[in-house]
Amino acid sequence: MPNTDQPQDEIETGSFSPPSYSLSSQDAVDWLRQLPNESVDLIITDPPYESLEKYRAIGTTTRLKNSKASSNVWFKIFPNSRFEELFTELYRTLKKNRHFYLFCDAETMFIAKPIAEQVGFKFWKPLVWDKRKIGMGYHYRARYEFVLFFEKGKRKLNNLSIPDIIEADRIWKGYPTEKPVKVSDVLVDQSTQAGEIVVDPFMGSGSVGVASLKNDRHFAGNDICQEAVDVTMSRLQDIGTLKDTLFLS
């Protein structure tokens, strides 16, 4: 675990150790159960929620095992029925007075929000990621996605002038449902300080990890797909220091 009591002037001048990261490939809930209680400073994640399959069925990718745009393997869906056990573990591992951000669509928001509140999270509001280009769908194809903003305890955002709409172009021909680093940059910068730990149990291509290391935060990521781990590893190896242990120490 990084020394969060390090003098702020040392952090700002970069005299502390470079950011590190740890990657794993297993079921998200199983991975979280191995993390210590209240050991995480920020959670940002994008589960492969059920409604994605509905939009794929309407579109042209229904029978494809690989993404047509990127050739990467389509992910295994995380069912809505598992949200309670997921949020329970997220709440347990998150430190008090910390934030949790969940990427989701409008349909999943109505399912996930009450479950997260039930396990103890306080819901603040949905942020909107404006992709600037339309994506999957049928009626009124979406060009936005929600980022649900939850809190455990109370922590002030670093900059109160940031709007609730984050504009960043959708990734074209990237990893399936890849998120731009710019979106995670905002969330990491708003909810952590240098040297703190960011976690993503559904890391995909590792955009949260890239944003974390770029901003001098440590990162612990997991994805059930080994290809996701390989992609993330290639993106992070030139930015931070790999840790072989399950969690950062």
Q: Does 135 have pLDDT greater than 60?
A: yes
- Decide: 64 and 197 in contact? Cβ < 8 Å: no
Look at residue 244 in the predicted model and tell me its pLDDT.
Answer: 80
Q: In angstroms, what CA-CA distances link 61 with 36, 69, 117? A: 39, 10, 34
The answer to whether position 56 is within a domain reads: no
Helix (H) or strand (E) holding 146: strand 144-152
The answer to whether position 78 is within a domain reads: no
Look at residue 140 in the predicted model and tell me its pLDDT.
Answer: 82
Q: What is the CATH number of the domain that holds 16?
A: 3.40.50.150
What's the pLDDT band for 54 if we cut at 50, 70, 90?
A: low
Look at residue 172 in the predicted model and tell me its pLDDT.
Answer: 74
Q: What is the pLDDT of residues 139-197, one digit of tens each?
A: 788 889 999 999 999 999 999 999 999 999 888 766 777 899 999 999 999 999 999 99
Look at residue 74 in the predicted model and tell me its pLDDT.
Answer: 43
Instruction: List CB contacts of 83: < 8 A, sequence separation 6 or more.
Output: 111, 112, 115, 116
Give me the mean pLDDT over the 24-33 stretch.
97
| Rounded-to-integer distance, Cα 211 and Cα 214, Å | 5
| Rounded-to-integer distance, Cα 108 and Cα 86, Å | 14
The answer to whether position 68 is within a domain reads: no
| Rounded-to-integer distance, Cα 226 and Cα 222, Å | 9
Q: What is the pLDDT of residues 101-128, one digit of tens each?
A: 999 999 999 999 999 999 999 999 999 9
Look at residue 56 in the predicted model and tell me its pLDDT.
Answer: 46
The answer to whether position 112 is within a domain reads: yes
The answer to whether position 115 is within a domain reads: yes
Look at residue 73 in the predicted model and tell me its pLDDT.
Answer: 45
Look at residue 50 in the predicted model and tell me its pLDDT.
Answer: 86
The answer to whether position 191 is within a domain reads: yes
The answer to whether position 12 is within a domain reads: yes
The answer to whether position 193 is within a domain reads: yes
Domain count of the chain? 1
Q: What is the pLDDT of residues 197-243, one digit of tens each?
A: 999 999 999 999 999 999 999 999 999 999 999 999 999 998 999 99
What's the pLDDT band for 13 if we cut at 50, 70, 90?
A: very low
- Give Dmax over CA atoms of the chain in angstroms: 54
**Domain span including residue 220:** 8-44+83-130+143-169+179-242
